[in-house]
Structure 1
Amino acid sequence: MPDPTDPDYLAELENFSTPGLTMDPLPAAEVRRRGTRMRRRHQALATVGAVAAVAVIATPIALAASGGNQGQPLPVDQQPPGGWTTTIPTDFPLTTGFPTPATTRPAAVGEIPNCGDWPSQKPADDLAVRYRGESEDYAQRWLVVYPDEATAAAELDALRDATADCAPVPGGEGIEMFFSSVPAPDQLTADDAYAYTQQARHDDGLISDLTLVEVFRTGNALLYDSAYGSAGGDQAVQYELDRRTGAVEPTVAAMCVFSIEGCDPADPDASEAVDEPTGLSGTIPDAFPLDEGLPTDAEGGIGVEGPAHELDLEGYNVESSLRACGAAPTGLPEPVDTLYAGHRTISTGILRQLMTFASADAAQAYAEGVIAPFAACPEDADDRGVSKTYEVDESDLGDYAASSVMRVEVDGEPGPGGQIVQVVRVGQAVLQTLVNHDGDAFDADAVTAHLDGARAVVDEMD
């Protein structure tokens, strides 16, 4: 818990609400260089550098945001029978659904961008976790506990005021940081919620560098969940809002310990519900039929390989298969165990990776993280008339299933080759399938055909 009399803490609190401190932004020339690189990659959705990441990580900047549930006036003197919980339980699931590796800090004012007088109150206790990815992406969760519900509610209202009616901020020549409200997530169990975004607008209309901030209040506690990524635009906003709201749901549910009613003993604790083993978990048996449903004809190639815990992956182009518009998945949870099986012909490679994770939530985070680059990149075009188009769809197979199909176009006409990336989660296990094809273009039923071929494996995962 931070000491309210600690000079370092007071200095940090003061700096946090004063714009323009701590770290210098990237030079305008660097921002323009990254914008030029991004335009060459694709036209529909941008992936650029870290001008907004620097602003979010270290420098509170102006935000204009509105919306969110302002809530109703709090009942006078209402509190839990035993008084408010003012310390964070040691087993509170703050990192559930959060990218790894995460760095935990026992006391943090946090980095929530704003342009007003915020924060205004010292917390009774707080805890923050941070993640910084290799692709300049960034995420943070910050749980803050106050002496009572009224103080927490007032602090959330102060953040609303501190992020409203703010003017755009120049981000270099031809670039401005603009700010928008987004609908606050209302499907979770929090008493109140608020959300807003920050993005960069280039002078040619290109939108990039999305920062999403979601805030949840339950009782006398506030949870801030923020994330930065280099993509931008309406599609990226909606995707990140859905993805991060789903990832933070178990943590918001666990905030019941700070509520007036407390946690319902008839219902499992949020963290217990997530971590309870379901289906396949732990070490995967060597005899697991991962090759079930793969083609059997080698067609002049190698044919079926595995199942095995070790497999030569060089011929399957795993790293390049998971990239879209120059971006790769980041912050993926590490699997507990992995089993491989594949099939290679002269023109096609199919790789299956069956992975188990420490929890169903970690498995879900992995599955969604793999699909994220494709969902944020509908088209990746070059200046020679060649483009790759990505289409992402979900299905009802297992607990969660999503597929990305990449097709090549040359001067607007179908070109040769293609790629499919599929993930299917069942409990704590994920089946990932990568298909690389150098022959004719995929037909309309290609995704369904590969999902159908994996159904026997999915049944064994349950």
Structure 2
Amino acid sequence: MSDPIEDLENLKHEGLNVNPLPASEVRRRGTRMRRRNNAIAAVGALAVIAVVATPLAVVARGGDDASPGPVGTPSPSPTRTVDGAGWLQAIPGSSGDFDLTALPDDATFRYDVRPLPVVDDLTLCGVPTFSTRSNDPVAPAVDFLGATYSEPGTDGSAGRTLALYENDEVAAKVLDAVRHGVETCPTEQQGQGAPLVYAAVDTELPAEDSYVFTQQARMDKDLLADLTVFQVARVGNAVYLATDHTSAGGPQVVDAEVQRMATLSAPVLSDMCIFAAEPCRTPSGAESASAEAHPSIGEGAVSAIPADFPLDRDIASPEGDPLDGPSAKAQGVPPLDLCGRSVWPVDGVERLAVTATGPEYRESRELVTFSRSADVTAALDALRQAVKDCPEIPGDTSANDQLISLQEADLAAADDSVTFSMTYREGLGGGVYQFARVGRALVGTFNGGEWSTDTLPAGVEEISGKTEALLPELCVWTVEGC
């Protein structure tokens, strides 16, 4: 067992300031800054886009003076109605609207975004307390997103989940269910293991409602270890859950971790004002429920992925098994890390994916939309450059080295594209990746199986034919539209 005091003195993510403002000061400054922004929008002057309405983010990012954005005519922020109309039903992308991985500028680590909830399936004393799915004691989430981080070489880990609900009343009940679960489960027996103890923390986060509690293992009468701090915060119809785990425990460690987490979560909690009843701004990546149903076109406009978008066209499991998707939660193109550079998944506005599997076979397709052409261009350029910079990935033996090669592909309907293969130096296996851009949409394909150098040319031609047939459907994200 490590020394708790020593662990406290060497808390992970060192070097990060942990001095958030009191909640009362957060609310006072937030009100002042929102009024300032609304006044500027009302007269059609410069849009203040660099600062949002929670000064914890100002403290973390260094400064109280917002730099004016480009000249324009901002749309007035909508007010959500009592019956729920207008509540966002999808989480906007991270291109300036909402970023679940956001951290203060001086943070020494970064979260990885996940299209699945990371903090989920919370059960206390055998009673389901929180889940984004249908087994939640209140209601399932209408959309969710996760982010995770693990401290290399230690037991330290952290996770975040943002869950959206039908309206603010449902979200409030979800938070109350967590509060009730902790209150009714002060101690949870773990068979032969050390019992877990739960306790609320007397602190307040800059949100409409919040609840912070801890889970620790009671090693003996006077020793607590394996601390996990839980943050739960609600703004409008959005609920944010964050956890942070360290092997130490006890009151001193709790105080330090709670304060540190408040600082780390400040940028995310600040940006959650877009989910409020009176949002700080209208996110470019989300349409209100009262918006017109027809898609918008042009740079900066974001059209929702149509419900009948044929992403599964020409995709089938070899043995007739059902597909995973198409849906926003389905598996898509596998995460791609090339020589230490993570290039997939990418952050966009919306995502749709579908996957077919079979023995020694996988075919996945994923559509990601963006609000700006520059964002999708940057994502594709990063993929192409990563492939060029990583011609091979060493294996445990030279025969298992993975060779990465750009492939020629005929995709005349694409604005830009990149196709490459990953095969083994010897033997069969690997896959073909293809990414094609049309307007502000990027469609990716992965075909994994028993590939070899000899089968690649014909395989790439077949994959390209399927992609080419789908590309005209992406016209909704072009300047001209369909």
Q: TM-score, normalised by structure 1?
A: 0.39
More RCO (CA 8 Å, sep 6+): 1
Report the TM-score, using the length of structure 2 for normalisation.
Answer: 0.37
